[in-house]
Structure 1
Amino acid sequence: VVTSLTNPTVKAVRALHLRKARDESGLFVAEGLKNVTEGVEQGIAPQILMFGKEAASHPLLKAAVRATEDAGGEVIEVTQDILAKVSRRDNPQAVVGVFKQRFVPLTAFQPASAPCWVALHRVRDPGNLGTIIRTADAAGCGAVILVGECCDPYSVEAVRATMGSVFAVPLAKASEAEFAAWRRDWPGSVVGTLLSAEVDHRQADYVRPSLILMGNEQQGLPPEMAALCDVNVKIPMRGRADSLNLSVATGIMIYAAT
């Protein structure tokens, strides 16, 4: 049982809370047996698996241990104190997995393979991003594409919000120019949301596969991104609120398109 916070593996996992460490290593942390099991069931084994004594006998953990060892990964039992330090939580999960990040190039996607796809321009909030990934998974979307400078989908906060869907939904990164060039060959509708739009999102003509393009939390879609859309729509506001949370709005658009 590892008890020291100065253990090299423990220090490496703790460092993955920092984006610099994630970018340099290409790794990320997934907390909890459910999240780790989601990865294992998708055929993605942890490179490092840490667990507390209370989880040692759980059959799902035993399966995760086998998958990790079969893939040449490292398995260590740790104390509750180490789990708290690694998770930066007072009441930590009993299992923590470290996995390799996965990004798919835009050219690898087959648009006809799914009825709806999601592109996010400069999304800033990791909780929103994680929730959108989870919603995209629930709706059977083909991928979530991050356009421009976005927050990290593999941050601890974003991964928590995905509830395991980070392993099921392909992720891609692209600059604005790369996305614009790729979008030219899109065979279905590209639909954006704008407060100034006149078309109700329920009345738009969604031609599958639909590509939903959403702007960031503060500014929405800038003109140059809105211009890439075949149609821009609005979600009606009947109360005093003049806008929706980005993840809620994206969920509404996903299900309108599917």
Structure 2
Amino acid sequence: MARPGRREITGFSNPTVKALRALRDKKHRQRDGRFLAEGLRLLTDARESGILPSTLVMASEREAHPLLDALEADVAAAGGEVIETTPDILGKITGKDNPQAVAGVFAPLPTDLEAIDRTAAPIFLVAQALRDPGNLGTMLRTADAVGAGGLILVDDCADPFGVEAVRASMGAIFTVPIAQARWEDFLPWLRSGPGQLVAASLREAVPYRGAPYGAPCFVLVGNESRGLPEDYEAACDLRVTMPMKGRADSLNAAVAAAVLAYEVLDAVG
């Protein structure tokens, strides 16, 4: 029996299970206006950022934890739903064979460019056509680590609210502002106020160490396989390159963003 205040679900065919499982697909996330996040640490980061899930799903076989108790109490106080189910059903919902003990359903966060305050920090990350959700989540984590004012996703990027991206962000999905825009909208927005656009590039680029960075600095990386379009690079204020001393001709996009972000942070942070 579930504790009072919780709803117990024991069947895989339950309509709620099917609806929550469907949130792993982008079309259902967009249709329902909700996304999934999994893990006590991640949900605690959300709670500490003032963001609570509308639905909290907990595995019946789990260890007691004061943070989970606080999360459940806050969700219930806010009028949210608390569900208790088996680890197998929770795994079906999240798509993991070994799921964590708790998951939450959240409303999408704002992603307009207006959500980005360029005075909030000396550094921002920008990704163009980033297709791998793991890379996107890693960039969010990097943005949080360097105190960036946000991550701006330009053109057709992976969905930041997909399960893999949320998981890879390690909670940064709730701490770092996100914006999504086409290049033709992003560039005029950037030029409407202060901001230096710096691209990781191989075209007429200067060494990334000691380059003349200025705040606020928008660090731009391109698609994992194609890099940045030439006209996008031409529109940048500064193009920098990192040395490749082995056989590899480039770094992973998220890794390049992290290396460059810390160099910029050292210069303008």
TM range (shorter): over 0.9
1:121 aligns with 2:128: yes
SS of 1:118 mapped into structure 2: strand
Q: Tell me the equivalent position of 2:190.
A: 183
Alpha-carbon distance between aligned partners in 2 of 1:31 and 1:47, rounded to the nearest angstrom? 14
Check the 8 A contact 2:116/2:177 in 1, yes or no: no
SS of 2:259 mapped into structure 1: helix
| Large movers: runs of 4+ above 6 Å | none
Aligned residues: 258
Pick aligned residue for 1:81 from 85, 88, 94: 88
- Alpha-carbon shift at residue 105 of structure 1 (Å): 2.2
- Alpha-carbon shift at residue 34 of structure 1 (Å): 0.9
- Alpha-carbon shift at residue 11 of structure 1 (Å): 1.4
Pick aligned residue for 1:167 from 164, 170, 174: 174
Q: Tell me the equivalent position of 2:64.
A: 57
Q: Tell me the equivalent position of 2:209.
A: 202
1:206 aligned partner, one-letter code: Y
1:240 aligned partner, one-letter code: R
Q: Tell me the equivalent position of 1:248.
A: 255
Change beyond 3 A, Cα 1:179–1:82: same
1:147 aligns with 2:138: no
1:228 aligned partner, one-letter code: A
Q: Tell me the equivalent position of 1:238.
A: 245
Alpha-carbon distance between aligned partners in 2 of 1:66 and 1:228, rounded to the nearest angstrom? 50
Alpha-carbon distance between aligned partners in 2 of 1:4 and 1:198, rounded to the nearest angstrom? 58
What's the Cα RMSD here?
1.3
Q: Tell me the equivalent position of 1:135.
A: 142
Of 3-12 and 202-211, deviating more is 3-12
SS of 1:83 mapped into structure 2: helix
1:192 aligns with 2:199: yes
Change beyond 3 A, Cα 1:69–1:216: same
1:18 aligns with 2:25: yes
Alpha-carbon distance between aligned partners in 1 of 2:207 and 2:110, rounded to the nearest angstrom? 33
Q: Tell me the equivalent position of 1:220.
A: 227
- Alpha-carbon shift at residue 6 of structure 1 (Å): 2.1
Alpha-carbon distance between aligned partners in 1 of 2:65 and 2:254, rounded to the nearest angstrom? 34
SS of 2:9 mapped into structure 1: coil
Q: Tell me the equivalent position of 2:11.
A: 4
Q: Tell me the equivalent position of 2:4.
A: none
* TM score, norm. by length of structure 1: 0.96
Alpha-carbon distance between aligned partners in 1 of 2:141 and 2:117, rounded to the nearest angstrom? 21
Q: 1:193-234: per-residue Cα shift (whole Å, max 9, x none)?
A: 112233001131111110111111011110221122101111
Pick aligned residue for 2:105 from 86, 93, 98: 98
Check the 8 A contact 2:23/2:35 in 1, yes or no: yes
Q: 1:66-117: per-residue Cα shift (whole Å, max 9, x none)?
A: 1211222110100111012112222111101111111242234331210100
Alpha-carbon distance between aligned partners in 1 of 2:30 and 2:181, rounded to the nearest angstrom? 16
* TM score, norm. by length of structure 2: 0.92
Alpha-carbon distance between aligned partners in 2 of 1:26 and 1:197, rounded to the nearest angstrom? 44
- Alpha-carbon shift at residue 64 of structure 1 (Å): 1.1
Alpha-carbon distance between aligned partners in 2 of 1:33 and 1:108, rounded to the nearest angstrom? 27
Alpha-carbon distance between aligned partners in 1 of 2:63 and 2:207, rounded to the nearest angstrom? 53
Q: Which runs of 5+ in 2 are unaligned?
A: 1-7
Check the 8 A contact 1:56/1:62 in 2, yes or no: no
SS of 1:204 mapped into structure 2: coil
1:48 aligns with 2:55: yes
- Alpha-carbon shift at residue 25 of structure 1 (Å): 1.6
